[in-house]
A and B are shown apart, each in its own frame.
Chain A
Amino acid sequence: MIKFDLHIHSIASNYKEDKNIVDDSTTANIRTLLTKLNENQVALFSITDHNRFNIELYEEINKILSAPHCEYEHVKAVLAGVEFDVKIDEAMEKCHIITIFDSKNDVANYKKINDEINKNLLTDKDAYYNKESFEQLLYSIGLNTILIACQRKDINNHNGHHNSLSDSSDDVEEIIKVGYINALEYQKPKVQGILIDNLKELPSPVSLVTGSDCHMWSCYPDHDCINRNADFYHSKAKILPTFKGLLMAITSPETRFNCRENNNVLYLKGIKIGGEEIPFKNGINAIIGENGSGKSTLLKFINNKTNDAFVKDIIKKSQMDHINTVDLTKVKYIGQGDIINKFNNKTLFASGSESNFKELDDTEFMEKYKQFAELLKDNISIRIRQKTALDSLKNHYIKYNPDLEEKNYYINIICQDGFDSIRNVHDDPLKKLRKIIQDLKVIKSEGYFVEYLEDITIAESSLTKAYKKIKTKWSIIEIESKVKNIIHSCITEYSIKVSENSTSKDKEIKDYADKKQRLIGAIIKTIDLNSKEVASITVPEICMGSSKNAKGGFCFNREANYNNTLMLESFMNIMFNKDYNSLTAITQINTNSEFVSALRNCSIESDIQSKWDTNYQKFINEATQIKEYITDGADKHIGNTLGEMSLSFFKYYTQDSEEWNVLIIDQPEDNISNNNISNQLIKYFNSIRDTKQLIFVTHNPLLVVNLDVDNVIYIHNDDKSITFKSGCLEYEDETTDILQIIADNMDGGKESIEKRLKVYGKNN
């Protein structure tokens, strides 16, 4: 991060100043200014005289700054500049436009600036350029420029007297929007607040910079010894101290101007390839290069995912080595294809082995429909049994035979139907109560419930008492069942023995008695069955079956099909055929053949039970099927396509509350449209640039140029070894020009740069 000041005057401005305040701001006194700049740690500055360019001064500054062991350690460079008086709208007043030239500190360029200005030199202190002559002058100079208009007040204040852009144009917003002016210069902090508010509706942020407007160097950063610059502070930018650096800042003010230092404490400092260090920035690092250049291998190496043989081979050949390591639990790694795999496996938003979608408890719904289904089946079953019993009576007849009415010799033991078929009514309640008590025992040991331990112990004690009472009743019926079962078994053996030893007459008498007994039994059974009231059927109430889990700015929703829905129609349609899919029709069934006709997929009587169970299970499966969806903070549904989910995944991933420091991604752009990369993904990555380290491989220039990465690493593989070049976007030296590398090696790279810089390409 460097401080800069692009608005300083020299003696060349004296034709407009009448208090002789620039008299000592001469080439001879330049060290006075440099000393002041150094004290204020200003790295980049410009001498921007009124409508003048002082070649001699610039040459002297460059000479001093480029000297070995320059004593002004903080002062790095000067940019050529002029403060022009320009009247944009002829009907209004003039304004001041700080014009910074890309002179590359070349004397020939200095001369060009000076010569063109001198061709039509303004000599009257109130003289100005009109819009056309100003544009013509810049065109004649022929250098790339950055135009910074002075604005000392609200942009809607057009009253004049301040040399502000709004004094010369009635539509400042429009001038900025079309890119005519690259930035606004203010001096007082309160004006910055006004301007931010003025310009908040513009589609992209506007660069707002400070300039000291210092005329008397000995008083820097004050204007002069009388006019103090109260509250003045220097603008700071995360740039190299060059024209290109300034240009990068102007075209991405939100990432370059007055940004915070990264407060991430654990980060990768870089790696070594062939003994040479590739430095990583504690910010955003983009690795670019052709397919097969070794980018992904490098990422895997960084993240210690080096199991594959070919990866090991490349690492060995390239002599890759770590400079430092970060605890892997603090590093997140998203490999190429990981997102699509997770999307297909529906684990995209899982954290570890746990899903972010909360489990649903279907117990209430299942219980209600289990009861309903049982009741319905009992209802049908009772009607069938009633009808069957009534019909079966005609099969029971006995012809009175006095000869067989004789007494039998052996004791005949009658074992009525259902004698030993006893249903223990206490079975289910006992099991339920047991589970509750055991659950209470478990939660008593959980820390959360310590506060409620006494209440839970009382509840457990009461329930245990009830359990014991029910258990006693349960045991009595269990014993009855066992004893009756033994009696039944013994009677069978007894009857066989008696039969074997009976005479023919005795047997005939017994058969007659048994037949009589069966007739009586059938009549009793029929009366019993038909006197039973069939329980009325109540349709289960609507159940709730949904869960929400708010996390990382999203809400993970899970909903069962039965949620808040009456499921009767679905139940009837799945269980029964069309003619029977109403409760009225079902309660008319009174024969097994009708039941077969009614039950879906059933064709024979013996299949009734199994088909009933199958259909019921199908209903339960469909009803409890869940749909999952994610809503964002504004309760807006996130789409379910891979692209939309990928985008949401990155938003979630970058905004989660977990403690991590480094995010490594192989091709984050996969599956996401360029539009969404520009509008969304860049925003998500920007949100962590001051708090995390981000390292990714990409082929998408938007993620390099528009994201305004802190460090570009270009990897090249010439079949023998991996070589690299790295630096921030504006970095250039004798062998490396990062923007040129992007333009030459990334599809659409040149277009992205041109679009961002607008002027780029003119001289390249």
Chain B
Amino acid sequence: MEKTIKLVMNEDKSISVFLNEALKCEIKEESREISAQTIYEILDYKSGDKLTVESKNEKNIDKNVLVYFKELFDDLCKRINGMDEDEEDDLLNEE
């Protein structure tokens, strides 16, 4: 399925992360950190998914923070979308 990750810099300098418009995580300005496991959970990747990334920072707040964070997700999506499919299994094709 098509999945869009949206990164939004809020006015209070917090960053919201959405997946298909559903808020998945919020990174507060006081503690700008996130775990690798949380990123994995945000992606919620299933075989066949197609991931895209968008970002929004209307007031250019801490511009580079969001730029670098988006670049991370761009990189992730590109590599995940390009993953090799499993080799065909002859036993799975049998009735």
Binding site for B on A (CB under 8 A): 407-416, 419, 434, 437, 464, 467-468, 471, 475, 478-480, 482-484, 486-491, 493-494, 497-498, 501, 513
B34 within 8 A of A: yes
Give residues of chain B (79-95) contacting chain A, Cβ–Cβ below 8 Å: 79-80, 83, 86, 89, 91-92, 94
A207 CB to closest chain B CB (Å) equals 76
Contact A475-B47, Cβ < 8 Å, known A414-B33, A483-B80: yes
Chain A residues closer than 8 Å to B21, beta-carbon distance: none
- CB of B29 within 8 A of CB of A407, answer yes
Chain B residues closer than 8 Å to A488, beta-carbon distance: 36
**In the bound complex, CA of A407 to CA of B27 (Å):** 12
Chain A residues closer than 8 Å to B35, beta-carbon distance: 413-416
A475 CB to closest chain B CB (Å) equals 6
Q: Which residue of B lies closest to A408 (CB)?
A: B32
- CB of A493 within 8 A of CB of B75, answer yes
B92 CB to closest chain A CB (Å) equals 6
**In the bound complex, CA of A480 to CA of B36 (Å):** 13
Contact A478-B32, Cβ < 8 Å, known A410-B68, A467-B91: no
**In the bound complex, CA of A415 to CA of B45 (Å):** 18
Chain B residues closer than 8 Å to A413, beta-carbon distance: 33-36, 39, 72
Contact A471-B72, Cβ < 8 Å, known A408-B32, A411-B27, A414-B33: no
- CB of A478 within 8 A of CB of B39, answer no
**In the bound complex, CA of A123 to CA of B39 (Å):** 135
**In the bound complex, CA of A408 to CA of B65 (Å):** 10
Interchain CB contact (< 8 A) of B83 among A416, A467, A482, A491: A482
**In the bound complex, CA of A419 to CA of B34 (Å):** 14
**In the bound complex, CA of A412 to CA of B69 (Å):** 10
Chain A residues closer than 8 Å to B36, beta-carbon distance: 413-416, 419, 484, 487-488, 491
Contact A490-B72, Cβ < 8 Å, known A413-B39, A471-B89: yes
Give residues of chain B (22-50) contacting chain A, Cβ–Cβ below 8 Å: 27, 29-37, 39-40, 43, 45-47
- CB of B39 within 8 A of CB of A487, answer yes
Contact A411-B15, Cβ < 8 Å, known A479-B45, A484-B36: yes
- CB of B91 within 8 A of CB of A486, answer no
A348 CB to closest chain B CB (Å) equals 45
B19 within 8 A of A: no
- CB of B64 within 8 A of CB of A501, answer yes
Contact A416-B31, Cβ < 8 Å, known A411-B15, A479-B45: no
Q: Which residue of A lies closest to B29 (CB)?
A: A407
**In the bound complex, CA of A278 to CA of B92 (Å):** 72
- CB of B47 within 8 A of CB of A490, answer no
- 28 pairs from A and B in contact (CB 8 Å cutoff): A407-B30, A408-B32, A409-B62, A411-B33, A412-B32, A413-B33, A413-B36, A414-B33, A419-B36, A434-B91, A437-B91, A467-B91, A471-B89, A475-B86, A479-B45, A482-B83, A483-B40, A486-B76, A486-B79, A486-B80, A487-B36, A488-B36, A490-B72, A493-B75, A494-B68, A494-B71, A497-B68, A513-B33
- CB of A411 within 8 A of CB of B47, answer no
Q: Which residue of A lies closest to B73 (CB)?
A: A490
Chain A residues closer than 8 Å to B80, beta-carbon distance: 483, 486
Chain A residues closer than 8 Å to B64, beta-carbon distance: 410, 501
Chain A residues closer than 8 Å to B15, beta-carbon distance: 411
Q: Which residue of A lies closest to B66 (CB)?
A: A411
Chain A residues closer than 8 Å to B47, beta-carbon distance: 475, 479
**In the bound complex, CA of A681 to CA of B30 (Å):** 100
**In the bound complex, CA of A486 to CA of B75 (Å):** 9
Contact A483-B68, Cβ < 8 Å, known A478-B86, A490-B75, A513-B33: no
- CB of B31 within 8 A of CB of A407, answer yes
- CB of B76 within 8 A of CB of A487, answer yes
Q: Which residue of B lies closest to A415 (CB)?
A: B36
**In the bound complex, CA of A493 to CA of B72 (Å):** 8
Q: Which residue of B lies closest to A414 (CB)?
A: B35
A407 CB to closest chain B CB (Å) equals 5
**In the bound complex, CA of A413 to CA of B71 (Å):** 14
- CB of A407 within 8 A of CB of B37, answer no
